[in-house]
A and B are shown apart, each in its own frame.
Chain A
C-alpha cells in the first residue's frame, strides 16, 4: 500500500456518493486499487436483463495510464474476447488522464449497446455479427440468459 494518490481517494468517494445508474463499482476490502464492478446490460440491447461482473485495476501510474478492465462474466460480443478482454480505444491509445473510472465504465456500457463488428476482438463472433446479425443477437441473448442472470 504505497501512499494512495489523492485522485484515487477522490474518485472512490465520488463513486460511492454519486453512483452511476446501472453500474456499481466497489473497491476491494483489501486493495484500494482493485474494484469489483457490475454493469447491467443496457435496455434494448441483447444484454438486457444481464448482470455483468468486471474487474477494474488502477495501475501504479494511474491516471497517467489507463485502468485495466476485464469482464469476469462470459459475454457474446464482437469486441470482448473469451478471456473477458475488452477492445476499447480509451483503454489503450486514446486514454487521457482527464478520463475517470466512471467515464470508462460508461463507455463499456455504451459498447454493450453498440457492438462494433468491423473492429473485432472476438473474430468468430464479429464474423457472425456481420453475416447474420439476427443469429448473433440470438446468441448474445442466449449467453446473457445462461451466464449473466442469477437463477
Chain B
C-alpha cells in the first residue's frame, strides 16, 4: 500500500539569487580553502537579520515562509552555501535578541539536509577545541551561537552522523564551557548542545563518562544555580539538574524528585498532562522547553467557578503563551499550536505583545515586551465572565471570548517555544502583584494532591513503566482502550469498540 501523492505543493523552483559583483567580504576567520565563497556573506547576513525581524512580527503560521527565509534555503542547497549560512548566522545573531536562538533552530530545521562532511567542515572551520573554549569570553556572541548551532545539528542529525560530529575536539570544546567562570549564555547553550547530542545513545555514554572523569562533576556545580536570581544562571541550574536526573545519572546521587520538599504545594504543573518535550522542575512549579516545537502543560487544579489568580515569573523573554485552557484544548506541539490556539483556551504572549484566542492574535497597545523577572498575572472571573492579564501589576488586557464556549473546567496552562522557561506561583508563595479590585482565591489553598500525584518522575523511569505495562487481549484493535465488541456492516470487520466507530 502507499502510493506517492505529490498533489500537495512541492516547493517551487526558486528564482536564482542575484549574484553579487562585489568582492566577498572578510569573515572573522579565514576559512580553509575548500570552502568556496559562493554568495557575498554580507548579503546572507542581511537576509538573516531581515528574517529575524520578520520572525518577531510574524503571527500567522499559515503564511508563506518569509522571502528572506526562502532565499536562505536556496543558498543552503549547495553544501558550500549551507556552510556559509552557518558561519554568517554565528557571526550576526545578537545575544540580546529573544528570537536569536529560535531563529537558528528555524533556519537549520527548514534547510536541506547537510551531508556529514559538510557538518564536519563546520567543526574544522571553527577549530573547535579546549583552547578555543578557553579564549571564548572574547566574543560571547560567536561562541554562544556556535553552541546553539551544534545543538541544532545534533538534534537534526540524530544517529550515526551525530556521533561523527561529536569528535574529541567538539566534546572538549563543549565540556570546557561547563564552568561558572565563563559567560552564562555560553555555558547554557554548551550544556543544551550536550543534552541534544545525548539523544543518540552512543553519544550519551561518551559524554557521561567524560563528565565523570572530571575531578568535580561539572553538572553538580552548575546544578547549584537552579535557584539563582540571575535569570541566565538560573536556566543553567535548571538544565544541569534536569540532565542529572534524566540523562547523565551519577551513581549515588539522589534524584531531585526524592529530595524535593513539596509538603506545602497543593497545585502544580501536571506531569501527566504535558506534551513530550517540556521539562518540569521536581517541585512542579517551573517549566522549560529546549525543543524546536511548541510544548504545552496544564496545571493540576481545575476551576469551575469563582475568581482565581496565579502568576508566572518569566525566566526568559521569548515566545510563551500563558493563560487558561480546558481539557478540550489540544497540545499540537509539532504543528505549533498550543494554549490560545483554539476556542477552548486563551493566552498572553508578552514577547510579541499579543492576546491569543482561537489562534487569532490581538495586539496589545502601549505595553513593553516582557523581560526576565517580569510577573505575568492571570485572573479568571467566572462571575463577571472575564479573563484579565497583568504585567507587573498593570492590567494589560481583558477578554470575554473564552466564555463563548466554556463555562467551567478551566486550568491554568502555558505553551513554550524553544529555549523558554517560566516559574509559576499558584499561591504557594505570596503573590507579587495580587489583584486589588476583587476578592480572589488561589489553587494552592484549595488543591489536594496525593504523594504520588506530586511526584515528577524522570522520563526514563516513566518510559520503563510504559514498557512494562501490559495490554489485555480481546480489546479494540484501533485504540486498545475499549472492548472490541462491534462489527462493521457490510464488510463484517470485527474487533473495534463503539467509541472508535462513533
Contact = CB atoms under 8 A, between A and B. Distances in A.
A57 B277 CA distance: 12
Contact of B460 (A30, A33, A92): A30
B494 interface: no
A122 B6 CA distance: 10
Interface stretch (A42-50, A81-89, A133-141): A81-89
A34 B115 contact: no
Contacts of B6: 79, 87, 119-121
A113 B13 CA distance: 26
A65 to B, nearest CB: 10
Given A2-B275, A57-B334, A82-B77, A110 B2 contact: yes
Interface in A91-129: 92-94, 97-99, 103-104, 106-108, 110-111, 116, 119-124
Interface residues of A, number: 65
Interface in B464-498: 466-467, 469, 471, 475, 477-481
Interface of B: 1-8, 10-11, 13, 77, 110-113, 115-116, 156-161, 199, 201, 204, 246-247, 271-277, 330-335, 459-460, 462-463, 466-467, 469, 471, 475, 477-481, 500
B275 A10 contact: no
B413 to A, nearest CB: 12
A60 B479 contact: no
B158 A93 contact: no
B115 A121 contact: no
Contact of B479 (A5, A38, A146): A5
A6 to B, nearest CB: 4
A9 B469 contact: yes
B275 A121 contact: no
A50 to B, nearest CB: 12
Nearest to B477: A98
The 10 closest A-B pairs by CB, nearest first: A107-B2, A82-B112, A89-B5, A6-B480, A116-B4, A87-B6, A119-B4, A53-B159, A30-B459, A31-B276
Contact of B158 (A6, A36, A57, A116): A36
Contact of B459 (A3, A31, A89, A98): A31
Given A60-B331, A87-B6, A121-B6, A147 B115 contact: yes
Nearest to B111: A83
Nearest to A61: B330
A5 to B, nearest CB: 7
Nearest to B272: A3
Nearest to B275: A2
A13 B467 contact: yes
A105 B148 CA distance: 32
Contacts of A110: 2
Given A3-B272, A32-B276, A59-B332, A83 B4 contact: no
A115 to B, nearest CB: 8
A68 interface: yes
Given A10-B480, A123-B13, A83 B112 contact: yes
A92 B13 CA distance: 23
A55 interface: yes
Nearest to A11: B480
The winner among A6, A104, A122 for most chain B CB atoms within 10 A is: A6
B113 A119 contact: no
Given A6-B481, A9-B469, A146-B115, 13 more contacts: A2-B273, A7-B479, A10-B471, A32-B463, A36-B158, A36-B159, A60-B331, A82-B77, A88-B4, A98-B477, A99-B1, A110-B2, A150-B160
Contacts of A13: 467, 471
The winner among A1, A38, A107 for most chain B CB atoms within 10 A is: A1
B326 to A, nearest CB: 15
B52 to A, nearest CB: 21
Contacts of A10: 471, 480
Given A2-B272, A74-B115, A29 B1 contact: no
Contacts of B477: 98
A90 B1 contact: yes
Contacts of A123: 10, 13
Given A1-B462, A2-B274, A119-B6, A147 B480 contact: no
Contacts of A82: 77, 112-113
A91 B463 CA distance: 26
Contacts of B478: 7, 63, 97-98
B249 to A, nearest CB: 12
A82 B5 CA distance: 17
B5 A119 contact: yes
Contacts of B11: 81
A87 B5 contact: yes
B298 to A, nearest CB: 9
B21 to A, nearest CB: 27
A89 to B, nearest CB: 4
A30 B201 CA distance: 11
Contacts of B481: 5-7
Contacts of A83: 110-113
A72 interface: yes
Contacts of A61: 330
A28 B460 CA distance: 10
B456 to A, nearest CB: 10
A74 B157 CA distance: 11
Contact of B156 (A72, A81, A122): A72
A11 B115 CA distance: 32
A4 B4 CA distance: 31
Contacts of B158: 36, 53, 55, 72
Contacts of A68: 334
B271 A53 contact: no
Nearest to B117: A146
A4 B276 CA distance: 10
A10 B467 CA distance: 9
Contact of B274 (A1, A12, A121): A1
